[in-house]
Structure 1
């Protein structure tokens, strides 16, 4: 019985703590106006979505999700999106490092009338933490993930942190 309790405390508690910490962080910074999509759902072959990267260009060039379209954060331009994607019912998933900047961009899309928008829960960090591939500026698979800062790299548990 003591072994079972140890196993539960040692293995399950850290996972729960990490997950709760990410949830707490997202709850603190996000308004929840945009629904989340899990990395597992986005990775499913049946999910056909436009994937928008709401990080800065140096982050995108280090690594991004396959077929992601760079839209940026500081230089985000809604007119460009409207020109590229006039169908406002298309499924769109926006991501960033962990899901804070992407919610801001997703809200801008929502205000312009886009109706099928999701924020990728945990962003590219959660994507990589679940073992899904990321690609560099040459579209080659990489282990590197731009973690924005030393502080944020704690959320990346797999791959190689660069900033």
Structure 2
């Protein structure tokens, strides 16, 4: 019995050390709102922008649009992305994209659920960008609400599910 308890504790500590892979814990907890709450807790300094707020921003005619950074991998991006998004898999990509932007430029980051994009938003803020937001719920929530996703300039209805675990947060009809 004592050995079982020690193994349980060890596995819990290992799970906590696994970063974003341990965010949701068991599959039963895989609810997007719970994941969003965990991301907010993990990245308290990152400003969150709801998908509804971002949709309103995209509907407005603005002289200067926000820079939209897709923080997913190329294989995810090529399935679909938000209109106008620039692929930025790491801080180096982001800094190259933003090299001529003022530090006050509005920047919106997104990924599948918001973990990777919150990490990049945090890093950009630490480098002096003062108007950085994570798209809360990211492309999974965006698609689940029926908002448009694109492959190039063509509207499509598929989103890369990241993997079998996180893909459960994306409605099946959007899986390739």
Does TM-score exceed 0.5, indicating one fold?
yes
SS at match of 1:148: coil
Distance 2:53 2:94 in 1: 26
Mean Cα deviation higher: 45-54 or 139-148: 45-54
Please name the residue that 2:81 is paired with. 64
The yes-or-no answer on 1:130 pairing with 2:145 is yes
Once the two structures are superposed, what CA deviation does each residue of 1:62-92 show, in whole Å capped at 9, x if it has no partner?
Answer: 010000111114x743541342x43110111
Which residue among 72, 83, 103 is the counterpart of 1:55? 72
SS at match of 2:104: coil
Structure 1 unaligned regions, length at least 5: 1-16
Please name the residue that 1:87 is paired with. 102
Could you tell me how far 1:27 is from its partner in structure 2?
4.3
Distance 1:76 1:64 in 2: 20
Please name the residue that 2:125 is paired with. 110
Q: Is the 8 A contact 2:113 2:139 kept in 1?
A: yes
Structure 2 unaligned regions, length at least 5: 1-29
Please name the residue that 1:38 is paired with. 50
Going from structure 1 to structure 2, the CA distance change for 1:23 and 1:86 (only over 3 Å counts) comes to closer
Going from structure 1 to structure 2, the CA distance change for 1:147 and 1:25 (only over 3 Å counts) comes to farther
Distance 2:107 2:89 in 1: 15
Please name the residue that 2:26 is paired with. none
Q: Is the 8 A contact 1:78 1:108 kept in 2?
A: no
Report the structure, 1 or 2, having the larger helix content.
Answer: 2
Could you tell me how far 1:19 is from its partner in structure 2?
5.3
Normalising by structure 1, what TM-score? Answer: 0.77
The yes-or-no answer on 1:155 pairing with 2:157 is no
SS at match of 1:128: helix
RMSD: 2.2
The yes-or-no answer on 1:23 pairing with 2:36 is yes
